[in-house]
Structure formats: structure tokens, C-alpha cells
Amino acid sequence: MSFTVEPIGVIHSPYQQKFAVPRQPGLVTAAAAEIHLQGNFAHADSVRGLIEFSHIWVLFIFHQTVAAGWQPLVRPPRLGGNTRKGVFATRATYRPNGIGMSVVELESVQADEHGVIIRVRGADWVNGTPVIDIKPYLPYAESIPTAQGGFADARPHSALSTVFDPTAEQQLQQFEPHYPQLRLLISQVLNQDPRPAYKQAAHQQKVYGMSLYDLNIKWQVINNENHVIQVSKDF
């Protein structure tokens, strides 16, 4: 037996690539995103009452990795990228059906003649991610204080802080009025240390780059500190 899943909408997110996307939702609170419903699903009736909830579950497709297939064993970054765990014991993106889920804070719901836009915060999606379902988060049923989190029982912690070098600071000030919470977004993303797990212990000053919105951010880690060296338009 097989099933066909039809996307109900698409995500507009500041993350333009998989690299630097936080590994879980809610870790980067400055990451604002929009869910644009499409087709017959973009109807005001389909979101009636949704704004009464503070958080929602969003089910989506890992569209950038689904074609690569899956393996029964994966290497979670949380464990340094070397220890193997069963795919169903992780939230790896390479899954049999490529389905992901995130709980995010609901900010607003706009439903009018132009369509339906759901604005959320704490996103962990690449721009253009297809959405397949939305459900309200129910605290009484889904918040379990006694639950055990296995190898990911606590919020990940990084000792890195983020500073902007003089050139990057000048560039940032030019762009800040045009991008919501840009400074905070960059800092929160980098404070999660998006480098590959096997690189995090290496003593090197490699320059990394990531795209947020249409901006190219370059940085390097020096003495356990993220140094942003460039904020420029990503042409």
C-alpha cells in the first residue's frame, strides 16, 4: 500500500541552504518565517481558530535530501558525527519518507483575498521547503515533564560567542534597517556552531560562509569566538 502526499504550502525562510540551519526548532528565536498556503488549501476557513494557539506543529518534506535515500544507521552531529544510531532513534534528514516536523511559535495568521500566510518564529527550515500539514500544539497532551531525551536530553550548548569585525560591523549597519533582527539572527545562528561536528575541535581559522535572506555572511572561529568578517549581498 502506498500513499501520495500533496504539499499544502511552501515556506519562506531566511535560510537559503541546509548549512547553518539550526538542528532543532526554537534554538534561533530570531528566525522568522512565513508559511504560504497554496491552491485549494489557501482558504480562510482552513485556518479559522488557528490564531488561538501559541504554537503549531508543522510537518514538511526534506526536499533537498529526499532524493538521496536513507540508511538504517546515521551519525548524529550531537554525538560528534562518529557514533552511529538507528535512523528512527534520531531526527536525521535522510529518512525513508523524508518527513520532518517542527514545533514553532505562531505569531500571526493573515487570510484575505490574496491568500493565507502563517507567520512563525523559531524556524529551522530551508527556504522553499514544502509543507504537508499543520496542527495545533496542545500543551496538556504534548508537554511531558518526565520524558527522557536519550542522547539529546538537554539543550545543546556552545561556548562560542559572536563579534563583528570593524568592516562587517559597518556593512551590518547598512543592512539592519532592511532585515528583521539581522544582528540577532546572525549571532544566534553562529552561536549554535553550525560547523561540521568533526571540525569543531580542530584548531584552525578556516573561513566559513552562509546565506541568510540574500546576504552572504562570512566568519571564522578564533579563540572560541565567532568573528564575522563580511556581510554582503549574495549575488
Q: Express each pLDDT in 18-39 by its tens digit.
A: 998 998 999 999 999 999 999 9
How large is the C-alpha radius of gyration of the chain?
19
Residue 42 has pLDDT above 60, yes or no: yes
CATH 3.30.2310.20 domain locations along the chain: 161-233
Fold of 9-138: Elongation Factor Tu (Ef-tu); domain 3 (2.40.30)
Q: Where are the alpha helices (DSSP H) in the chain?
A: 139-142, 166-175, 182-191
Q: Express each pLDDT in 74-84 by its tens digit.
A: 998 888 888 99
Residue 199 has pLDDT above 80, yes or no: no
Percentage of the chain beyond pLDDT 70 is 96
pTM, whole model, 2 decimals?
A: 0.91
**b/e code 193-209 from CB counts within 10 Å (16+ = b):** bbbeeeeeeeeeeeebe
pLDDT of residue 56: 98
State which amino acid sits at residue 174. Answer: Q
Residue 167, SS3 per DSSP:
helix
| CATH number of 161-233, picked from 3.30.460.10, 3.40.50.300, 3.90.1150.10, 3.30.2310.20 | 3.30.2310.20
Q: Express each pLDDT in 43-94 by its tens digit.
A: 999 999 999 999 999 999 999 999 999 999 999 888 888 899 999 999 999 9
CATH 2.40.30.70 domain locations along the chain: 9-138
DSSP 8-class letter at 145: T
